Amino acid sequence: MTSTGQLVFYVNPLWRRQGIHTPLLNPWWGNPLTDSSLYTKELFDSYSFSTAYYAITDDLGKADMVLAPYPHVWFMRHDMVLFDECVRTARGESLPLLIDGTGDIEYPINIENAYILRYSGYRFLPERRRIQIPLFADDLLERCRGGRLAIRKKGEGKPNVGFAGWARLSLKQYLRTVIKELPMRLRGIFDTRYRACTKGVLWRQKAIKILQSSPHVTFNLRVRNSFTASVKTAEGDMQKLQEEMVDTILQSDYALDVRGDANNSARLFEILSLGRIPIIIDTERNFPFSDKVDYSSFALIIDFHDIKCLPERVAEFHKRISPERFEQMQRNARDAYVNYFRVDALMCSIVEELHMMVPRRGGSV
């Protein structure tokens, strides 16, 4: 560790390849994303992991840990020889290894002394040395509203719930999804927790159907036919789609948040960035930094087992909450995003977790 308290990661310059490196290296290697991933490119053009908390070195003698420079899924597809070299280097120097294990599908990593960044997973399927981080989500208040937080007043009558996003599958997509999920669906007969593993778009369809048919809430809905965060799949102008989504959230008392392909969603953190109260359908999620962040201070969390009661739960919550508390939850949402979940805030919590998890070697970590 440096005299300033930074955690120092060893990265061999010869490990650099043509590919999308872990964003932890963006401060040194730059933003590798192109306009084909427009939203994420814009995010990392504007924000980066704070180097106040970490540094990289090519001198093993100065390192606290070894950092594998690419996500685990990239190594699996392109260069497991390089991944094995990272593992051998850490093992040979008796240094812990940090692996970017983020991805919609989490592949097992059974490496002693490896610590793994994840953004998905299930609480009932724990993993050793996991560090749970949020999906990377842009600051939409800065991006689309000049950073001006407009607090919504609590109105009379039914609460307004908003959702804009992908919630349709073609028949072919639906059948393919159901067939792929058959093993988990069979497990779900005997252990209902496995029902949480259902594809996110199907959970969205269920929540939408329940909210649409309920007299207890007003539903502000914009359904998309495809994933809108990629140029390859977005139907229409991406900037317009983003603006419509932002409008839908800001014009609602509450914003629906349902998992995506990963058991998490960028939408949750986009909602928080806009200072709105998310209604989180909790599909056994691992909530990032939950030891220090009080999610109940800015969100209504509803267990997926209770999804049929979703409108009633929202209506009862809205009825009981005071106007002052309603407004404070919006401020709390924005504060949580800026202080914990925006990219430039993440490294503080990641380093804190590593300090707690990693055994000290000579007092350095």
* pLDDT tens by residue, 176-200: 888 988 998 999 999 999 999 999 9
Phi-psi category of 185—alpha, beta or left, where left has phi over 0 and alpha has psi -120 to 50?
alpha
Q: Report yes or no on 364 lying in a domain.
A: no
Q: Report yes or no on 192 lying in a domain.
A: yes
Identify the domain containing residue 315 by its residue range.
Answer: 140-341
Regarding whether 352 and 315 lie in a shared domain, the answer is no
* pLDDT tens by residue, 116-146: 999 999 999 999 999 999 999 999 999 999 9
Closest CA to 15 of 56, 61, 43, 47: 56
Regarding whether 158 and 100 lie in a shared domain, the answer is no
Q: What pLDDT score does 207 carry?
A: 97
Q: What pLDDT score does 228 carry?
A: 56
Burial profile 186-201: b = 16 or more Cβ within 10 angstroms, e = fewer:
eebeeeebbbbbbbbb
- Rounded to the nearest integer, the mean pLDDT of the chain is 93
- 203 and 261 Cβ atoms separated by less than 8 Å: no
Closest CA to 79 of 21, 8, 27: 21
Helix ranges (H only) for 112-255 are 140-145, 171-190, 200-212, 238-250
Q: Report yes or no on 363 lying in a domain.
A: no
Q: Report yes or no on 2 lying in a domain.
A: no
Handedness of CA 258, 274, 35, 231 (dihedral sign): positive
Regarding whether 333 and 294 lie in a shared domain, the answer is yes
Between 284 and 362, residue with greater pLDDT: 284
- The encoded tokens of residue 46 equal 């504007």
Per-residue pLDDT at 229 exceeds 60: no
- Number of structural domains (the chain) is 2
Q: What pLDDT score does 230 carry?
A: 52
Q: What pLDDT score does 165 carry?
A: 86
- 226 and 234 Cβ atoms separated by less than 8 Å: yes
Regarding whether 157 and 302 lie in a shared domain, the answer is yes
Regarding whether 163 and 127 lie in a shared domain, the answer is no
> What pairing do the DSSP bridges indicate for beta strands 160-166 and 114-118?
unpaired
* pLDDT tens by residue, 265-276: 999 999 999 999
Averaged over 3-8, what is the pLDDT?
77
Q: What pLDDT score does 7 carry?
A: 97
Instruction: Give percent of the chain above pLDDT 70.
Output: 94
CATH of the domain at 173: 3.40.50
Query: How far does Cα 101 stand from its chain's mean position?
Result: 13
